């Protein structure tokens, strides 16, 4: 079976093609705003403009044509409404026109399942999923991924990107903050806000922005920002791990690429004597292969959509979804 996965929840349009379990191609084109954050209308323009040429390139790389595709999977939510809608319309049209089955995939679930595909589907980890749009600690319990802890306001990637913009660095900010943090020497105190199993970042962002405006050294500030924000994530991950007694941690999502965050999680995994896995860089950010792969899992369990069910779900939560492919 050959599956085409289409990702387009926010800034990235991406196509992945998977034959059985093998990723044949995974290509993306990212919208990078000239100024400010993601402008939904501009992102849609980007996706609409890139859709045809990028799809043609993906098929060409896989040496296939659309008629070879058996299943189409698309990112149905959560994400920016206009972006989701543009991708849903395209996926629906392709599926109707070519009489292909259609599956709608939750973007957060896809970030997790592509990580599990890499480490082995028999592994049942505590997952720290961190990206521009999400920050959560989750794990499989009784038929679903339960959210043990999450951000109460802005996600970590969004914090890093917004801070970076404030200090004059270009989008995406996460990698730039990571680079400057390496030269930081002095720790600058910033608010550490963990509430139960959840965390809050918006006050911390304001505090970091203010420190910069007051003249703090940027390297020191990037270093401190990483130390504080990543410690908060590590703390709630460690508590979920202790509570569930799972035997591994999986780090996934765009921010998973960060070496300092990896280091902190590795250190708690060593303390608890569990395995630590991190999604590979090429599958960490938004990509079509993760949508294709999760679409395959869903399709194998009868979760294909009829046309009326293909509406976008901009606020779709991970813990609403039944996960029949994990049994324990
Ligand atoms: N090395 C890094 N360190 C910290 N953050 C990073 C790094 N690389 C990417 N990011 C962040 O990852 C986020 C993008 O994640 P991704 O999963 O692709 O998108 P989305 O949040 O839309 O799902 C951005 O906020 C970006 O700054
Ligand atoms: Mg993402």
List pLDDT tens digits, range 254-288.
999 999 999 999 999 999 999 999 999 999 999 99
pLDDT of 18 strictly over 80: yes
Q: Which atom of ligand 1 is nearest to the CA of 173?
A: 27
Eight-state DSSP code of residue 170 = P
For residue 307, how many other CB atoms are within 10 A of its CB?
10
Enumerate the CATH 3.30.420.40 domain ranges in the chain, comma separated. Answer: 2-111+284-320, 124-281
The pair of structure tokens assigned to 125 is: 């980890």
197-225: b or e for each residue (b if 16 or more CB lie within 10 Å)?
Answer: bbbbbeebbeebbebbeeebbbbbbbbbb
Integer angstrom CA distances of residue 217 from 86, 163, 165, 205, 223: 42, 14, 16, 16, 10
Mean pLDDT, residues 138-167: 97
Cβ of residue 255 lying under 6 Å from some atom of ligand 1? yes
pLDDT of 37 strictly over 90: no
**Which residue out of 84, 150, 172, 251 has the highest number of ligand 1 atoms within 8 Å of its CB and is therefore the one to mutate?**
172
Q: What is the mean pLDDT of the chain?
A: 97
pLDDT of 111 strictly over 80: yes
Helix and strand numbers (H, E) in the chain are: 10, 12
pLDDT value of position 203: 98
**Which residue out of 11, 37, 43, 132 has the highest number of ligand 1 atoms within 8 Å of its CB and is therefore the one to mutate?**
132
pLDDT value of position 327: 86
Smallest CA separation from ligand 1 atom 18, residue: 285
Q: Which atom of ligand 1 is nearest to the CA of 257?
A: 1
Smallest CA separation from ligand 1 atom 4, residue: 174
The CATH topology of domain 124-281 is Nucleotidyltransferase; domain 5 (3.30.420)
pLDDT value of position 33: 87
Cβ of residue 258 lying under 6 Å from some atom of ligand 1? yes
Q: Are 166 and 209 in contact (CB under 8 A)?
A: yes
Distance in Å, CA 316 to ligand 2 centroid: 14
For residue 324, how many other CB atoms are within 10 A of its CB?
13
pTM: 0.96
For the domain bounded by 2-111+284-320, which CATH number is listed? Answer: 3.30.420.40
pLDDT value of position 328: 75
Return all residues near 29 (Cβ < 8 A) that are at least 6 apart. Answer: 12, 13, 14, 46, 50, 54
Cβ of residue 165 lying under 6 Å from some atom of ligand 1? no
Q: Are 18 and 5 in contact (CB under 8 A)?
A: yes
pLDDT band at 150 (very low <50, low <70, confident <90, very high): very high
pLDDT value of position 319: 98
pLDDT value of position 34: 83
């Amino acid at each position: 079976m050959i599956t085409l996965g289409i990702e387009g929840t926010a800034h990235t349009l991406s196509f992945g093609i998977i034959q059985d379990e093998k990723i044949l191609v995974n290509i993306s084109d990212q919208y990078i705003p000239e100024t400010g954050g993601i402008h939904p209308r501009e992102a849609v323009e980007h996706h609409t403009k890139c859709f045809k040429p990028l799809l043609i390139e993906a098929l060409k790389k896989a040496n296939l044509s659309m008629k070879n595709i058996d299943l189409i999977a698309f990112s149905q939510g959560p994400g920016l409404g206009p972006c989701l809608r543009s991708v849903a319309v395209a996926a629906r049209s392709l599926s109707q026109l070519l009489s292909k089955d259609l599956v709608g995939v939750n973007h957060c679930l896809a970030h997790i399942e592509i990580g599990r595909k890499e480490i082995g589907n028999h592994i049942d980890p505590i997952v720290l999923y961190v990206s521009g749009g999400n920050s959560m600690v989750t794990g499989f319990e009784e038929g679903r991924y339960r959210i043990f802890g999450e951000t109460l306001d802005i996600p970590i990637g969004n914090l890093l990107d917004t801070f970076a913009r404030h200090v004059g660095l270009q989008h995406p900010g996460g990698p730039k903050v990571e680079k400057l943090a390496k030269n930081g020497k002095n720790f600058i105190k910033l608010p550490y806000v963990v509430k139960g199993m959840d965390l809050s970042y918006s006050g911390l962002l304001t505090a970091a922005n203010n420190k910069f405006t007051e003249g703090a050294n940027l390297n020191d500030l990037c270093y401190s920002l990483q130390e504080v924000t990543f410690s908060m994530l590590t703390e709630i991950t460690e508590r979920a791990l202790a509570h569930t007694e799972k035997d591994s941690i999986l780090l996934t999502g765009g921010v998973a690429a960060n070496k300092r965050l990896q280091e902190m999680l590795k250190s708690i995994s060593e303390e608890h004597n569990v395995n630590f896995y991190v999604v590979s860089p090429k599958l960490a950010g938004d990509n079509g292969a993760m949508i294709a792969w999760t679409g395959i899992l869903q399709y194998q369990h009868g979760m294909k959509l009829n046309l009326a069910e293909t509406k976008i779900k901009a606020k779709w939560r991970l813990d609403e979804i039944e996960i029949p492919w994990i049994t324990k």
